[in-house]
Amino acid sequence: MKFTVAIDGPAAAGKGTISRAVAAHFGFAHLDTGLLYRAVGARVLDGLDPVAAARSLTAGDLDRPDLRRPDVAQAASRVAAIPEVRAALVAFQRSFAARAGGAVLDGRDIGTVICPDAAVKLFVTASDLVRADRRYRELVEAGVETCLDEVLAEMRERDARDSARAAAPLKPAPDAVVLDTSELTIGQAVTAALAEIERRRAG
Protein backbone atom coordinates (compact mmCIF):
# COMPACT_ATOMS: atom_id res chain seq x y z
CA MET A 1 0.00 0.00 0.00
CA LYS A 2 1.28 3.42 -0.94
CA PHE A 3 1.35 5.91 1.94
CA THR A 4 3.54 8.97 1.55
CA VAL A 5 4.56 11.36 4.31
CA ALA A 6 5.99 14.69 3.13
CA ILE A 7 8.02 16.62 5.70
CA ASP A 8 9.33 20.05 4.72
CA GLY A 9 11.01 22.91 6.52
CA PRO A 10 14.12 25.07 6.81
CA ALA A 11 17.54 23.91 7.97
CA ALA A 12 17.95 22.68 11.56
CA ALA A 13 14.21 22.81 12.30
CA GLY A 14 14.25 19.11 13.14
CA LYS A 15 12.66 17.64 10.03
CA GLY A 16 15.44 15.10 9.47
CA THR A 17 15.28 13.79 13.04
CA ILE A 18 11.49 13.63 12.93
CA SER A 19 11.50 11.95 9.51
CA ARG A 20 13.90 9.22 10.60
CA ALA A 21 11.85 8.58 13.75
CA VAL A 22 8.60 8.43 11.77
CA ALA A 23 10.08 6.03 9.22
CA ALA A 24 11.44 3.77 11.98
CA HIS A 25 8.14 3.81 13.89
CA PHE A 26 5.97 2.81 10.93
CA GLY A 27 8.54 0.76 9.03
CA PHE A 28 8.49 3.17 6.09
CA ALA A 29 11.41 3.86 3.75
CA HIS A 30 13.09 7.25 4.31
CA LEU A 31 14.74 9.68 1.91
CA ASP A 32 16.56 12.83 2.99
CA THR A 33 16.15 14.72 -0.28
CA GLY A 34 18.49 17.44 0.96
CA LEU A 35 21.32 14.94 0.54
CA LEU A 36 20.60 14.84 -3.20
CA TYR A 37 21.19 18.58 -3.46
CA ARG A 38 24.17 18.46 -1.09
CA ALA A 39 25.72 15.76 -3.25
CA VAL A 40 25.21 17.89 -6.35
CA GLY A 41 26.62 20.91 -4.50
CA ALA A 42 29.69 18.92 -3.45
CA ARG A 43 30.29 17.83 -7.03
CA VAL A 44 29.98 21.45 -8.16
CA LEU A 45 32.61 22.43 -5.59
CA ASP A 46 34.75 19.72 -7.20
CA GLY A 47 34.45 21.62 -10.48
CA LEU A 48 31.50 20.00 -12.24
CA ASP A 49 28.69 21.88 -13.99
CA PRO A 50 25.56 21.85 -11.76
CA VAL A 51 23.20 20.33 -14.34
CA ALA A 52 25.75 17.71 -15.41
CA ALA A 53 26.39 16.90 -11.75
CA ALA A 54 22.67 16.36 -11.11
CA ARG A 55 22.09 14.25 -14.21
CA SER A 56 25.02 11.94 -13.45
CA LEU A 57 24.40 11.62 -9.71
CA THR A 58 24.82 8.09 -8.32
CA ALA A 59 23.82 6.46 -5.04
CA GLY A 60 27.49 6.46 -4.06
CA ASP A 61 27.56 10.26 -4.16
CA LEU A 62 25.13 10.29 -1.21
CA ASP A 63 27.71 8.55 0.97
CA ARG A 64 30.38 11.26 0.70
CA PRO A 65 31.70 12.20 4.16
CA ASP A 66 31.78 15.94 3.39
CA LEU A 67 28.06 16.47 2.70
CA ARG A 68 27.41 18.18 6.07
CA ARG A 69 30.07 20.86 5.62
CA PRO A 70 28.80 24.48 5.66
CA ASP A 71 30.24 25.25 2.21
CA VAL A 72 28.46 22.21 0.78
CA ALA A 73 25.18 23.37 2.38
CA GLN A 74 25.54 26.77 0.75
CA ALA A 75 26.38 25.16 -2.61
CA ALA A 76 23.33 22.91 -2.26
CA SER A 77 21.09 25.93 -1.73
CA ARG A 78 22.53 27.62 -4.82
CA VAL A 79 22.14 24.62 -7.13
CA ALA A 80 18.63 23.96 -5.79
CA ALA A 81 17.56 27.27 -7.34
CA ILE A 82 18.45 25.98 -10.83
CA PRO A 83 15.31 24.56 -12.54
CA GLU A 84 17.29 22.06 -14.64
CA VAL A 85 18.92 20.62 -11.50
CA ARG A 86 15.56 20.22 -9.77
CA ALA A 87 14.07 18.58 -12.87
CA ALA A 88 16.90 16.07 -12.99
CA LEU A 89 16.18 14.97 -9.42
CA VAL A 90 12.36 15.01 -9.43
CA ALA A 91 11.88 11.60 -11.08
CA PHE A 92 14.10 9.88 -8.52
CA GLN A 93 12.20 11.42 -5.62
CA ARG A 94 8.75 10.64 -7.02
CA SER A 95 9.73 7.05 -7.75
CA PHE A 96 10.92 6.67 -4.16
CA ALA A 97 7.67 8.17 -2.82
CA ALA A 98 5.53 5.75 -4.83
CA ARG A 99 7.08 2.58 -3.44
CA ALA A 100 4.84 0.05 -1.73
CA GLY A 101 4.99 -0.15 2.04
CA GLY A 102 5.10 3.58 2.73
CA ALA A 103 7.70 6.31 2.38
CA VAL A 104 8.82 9.40 4.26
CA LEU A 105 10.55 12.16 2.30
CA ASP A 106 11.96 15.27 3.91
CA GLY A 107 13.13 18.39 2.14
CA ARG A 108 11.89 21.81 1.14
CA ASP A 109 9.37 21.16 -1.65
CA ILE A 110 8.06 17.65 -0.99
CA GLY A 111 4.51 18.66 -0.09
CA THR A 112 4.29 21.45 -2.67
CA VAL A 113 6.05 20.00 -5.74
CA ILE A 114 7.35 16.44 -5.40
CA CYS A 115 4.36 14.82 -3.65
CA PRO A 116 1.43 17.26 -3.68
CA ASP A 117 -0.90 14.28 -3.12
CA ALA A 118 0.98 12.96 -0.06
CA ALA A 119 -1.27 11.41 2.58
CA VAL A 120 0.34 13.56 5.29
CA LYS A 121 2.16 16.87 4.92
CA LEU A 122 4.10 18.41 7.77
CA PHE A 123 6.01 21.70 7.72
CA VAL A 124 8.56 21.64 10.53
CA THR A 125 9.94 25.01 11.55
CA ALA A 126 11.57 26.92 14.42
CA SER A 127 12.91 30.42 15.00
CA ASP A 128 16.12 31.26 13.18
CA LEU A 129 17.92 31.83 16.50
CA VAL A 130 16.97 28.37 17.77
CA ARG A 131 17.91 26.74 14.48
CA ALA A 132 21.26 28.53 14.32
CA ASP A 133 22.10 27.43 17.86
CA ARG A 134 21.26 23.83 16.98
CA ARG A 135 23.39 23.89 13.83
CA TYR A 136 26.24 25.62 15.67
CA ARG A 137 26.29 22.87 18.29
CA GLU A 138 26.26 20.20 15.58
CA LEU A 139 29.21 21.80 13.81
CA VAL A 140 31.23 22.22 17.00
CA GLU A 141 30.57 18.59 17.90
CA ALA A 142 31.78 17.62 14.43
CA GLY A 143 34.98 19.57 14.95
CA VAL A 144 34.14 22.43 12.57
CA GLU A 145 35.57 25.81 13.62
CA THR A 146 32.88 28.47 13.45
CA CYS A 147 30.94 30.92 15.62
CA LEU A 148 27.24 31.33 16.32
CA ASP A 149 26.99 34.71 14.57
CA GLU A 150 28.49 33.26 11.40
CA VAL A 151 26.12 30.28 11.46
CA LEU A 152 23.13 32.59 12.02
CA ALA A 153 24.14 34.87 9.13
CA GLU A 154 24.60 31.91 6.76
CA MET A 155 21.27 30.43 7.84
CA ARG A 156 19.39 33.69 7.25
CA GLU A 157 21.05 34.02 3.85
CA ARG A 158 20.01 30.50 2.94
CA ASP A 159 16.46 30.98 4.24
CA ALA A 160 16.08 34.09 2.10
CA ARG A 161 17.44 32.36 -0.99
CA ASP A 162 15.33 29.22 -0.51
CA SER A 163 12.15 31.21 0.09
CA ALA A 164 12.65 33.64 -2.80
CA ARG A 165 13.75 31.26 -5.54
CA ALA A 166 11.46 30.95 -8.55
CA ALA A 167 11.74 27.16 -8.69
CA ALA A 168 9.87 25.45 -5.83
CA PRO A 169 10.35 28.05 -3.09
CA LEU A 170 10.42 26.97 0.54
CA LYS A 171 6.90 27.34 1.89
CA PRO A 172 4.24 25.18 3.57
CA ALA A 173 1.74 23.42 1.32
CA PRO A 174 -1.75 24.90 1.80
CA ASP A 175 -2.89 21.69 3.54
CA ALA A 176 0.29 21.09 5.56
CA VAL A 177 0.26 20.91 9.35
CA VAL A 178 2.83 23.39 10.71
CA LEU A 179 4.91 22.02 13.59
CA ASP A 180 6.99 24.66 15.40
CA THR A 181 9.77 22.93 17.34
CA SER A 182 11.28 26.07 18.91
CA GLU A 183 10.03 25.14 22.38
CA LEU A 184 9.80 21.36 21.93
CA THR A 185 12.18 18.57 22.88
CA ILE A 186 12.99 15.99 20.22
CA GLY A 187 10.66 13.54 21.91
CA GLN A 188 7.78 16.02 22.00
CA ALA A 189 8.24 16.93 18.34
CA VAL A 190 8.33 13.28 17.26
CA THR A 191 5.24 12.51 19.36
CA ALA A 192 3.32 15.37 17.74
CA ALA A 193 4.30 14.19 14.25
CA LEU A 194 3.36 10.58 14.98
CA ALA A 195 -0.02 11.65 16.37
CA GLU A 196 -0.85 13.57 13.18
CA ILE A 197 0.16 10.65 10.97
CA GLU A 198 -1.82 8.17 13.08
CA ARG A 199 -4.84 10.45 12.79
CA ARG A 200 -4.57 10.52 8.99
CA ARG A 201 -4.06 6.75 8.75
CA ALA A 202 -7.09 6.10 10.94
CA GLY A 203 -9.20 8.45 8.83
Q: What angle do CA 162, 167, 169 make, to 5 degrees?
A: 35
Q: Are 8 and 112 in contact (CB under 8 A)?
A: yes
* 11 annotated as belonging to a binding site for a ligand: yes
* 15 annotated as belonging to a binding site for a ligand: yes
**CB-based contacts of 124, cutoff 8 Å, min separation 6:** 7, 8, 9, 13, 14, 15, 18, 179, 181, 189, 193
* 91 annotated as belonging to a binding site for a ligand: no
* 2 annotated as belonging to a binding site for a ligand: no
Q: CA 57 to CA 95: how far, in whole Å?
A: 15
**CB-based contacts of 167, cutoff 8 Å, min separation 6:** 80, 81, 82, 83, 86
* 10 annotated as belonging to a binding site for a ligand: yes
- Count the helix, strand and coil residues of the chain and give each as a percent rounded to the nearest 5: 55, 10, 30
* 12 annotated as belonging to a binding site for a ligand: yes
Q: What does each C-alpha distance from 85 to 7, 51, 149 come to in angstroms?
A: 21, 5, 31
* 101 annotated as belonging to a binding site for a ligand: no
Binding residues: 9-17
Binding residues for ATP: 9-17
